[in-house]
Amino acid sequence: MATIISLDPRITRAQIESYDPADVQPKPDLDQFITFEVFHQAKSGARHIHVGSVHAPNSDMALLMAKEQFGRRGQTHNIWVVCTEDVVTMHANDADIFATTPEKVYRDVAAYMVRNKVEAFKKEQRGDTKE
């Protein structure tokens, strides 16, 4: 049988035998570990941030592997692991449900001029009367 010829000389040097894709058998179920998403909390009260994923046979091992992989970098207060299959997402075509009505700008944080109100309050406290 012929060997694979690649643009990468390391592949060519390995002399890997070429194969017929029709001969490839699908992998059996449970041949691979389960994928878990990892969320990291740096300090108490902080939000959990997605930092990556790990592959493990069960949730206990996933937590242990997440601790070793992501808990040793910087300060860690807590780690969550969630099976990737348990994460529920929306379809991209449904994104329009988040569209806000333009005339309701009061719902947007940018609509509030907090800085102006704070500056006015400070001037009032100092007794400044000039503008």
The mean predicted confidence, pLDDT, of the chain is 84
Q: Is the pLDDT of residue 131 over 60?
A: no
DSSP 58: S
Average pLDDT over residues 109-120: 74
Burial degree of 39 (CB within 10 A; 0-12, 13-18, 19+): middle
Instruction: Write out the two tokens for 68.
Output: 């070793």
Answer yes or no: are the C-beta atoms of 92 and 62 closer than 8 Å.
Answer: no
Picking from 21-25, 54-58, 109-113, 119-123, which range would have the lowest pLDDT averaged per residue?
109-113
In a 3-state reduction of DSSP, which class is residue 123? Answer: helix
**Rounded Cα distance, 128 and 125, in Å:** 8
pLDDT score, position 57:
92
Residue with tokens 């691979």: 32
**Rounded Cα distance, 32 and 57, in Å:** 8
Domains along the chain with CATH numbers? 9-126 (3.10.20.520)
pLDDT score, position 35:
95
DSSP 116: H
Q: Which residue has the higher pLDDT, 19 or 111?
A: 19
Average pLDDT over residues 21-42: 85
Integer CA distances (angstroms), 125 to 73, 119, 120, in order? 46, 10, 9
Average pLDDT over residues 27-45: 87
Residue with tokens 């997605």: 50
pLDDT score, position 25:
83
pTM of this prediction?
0.53
- Say which amino acid occupies 35: T
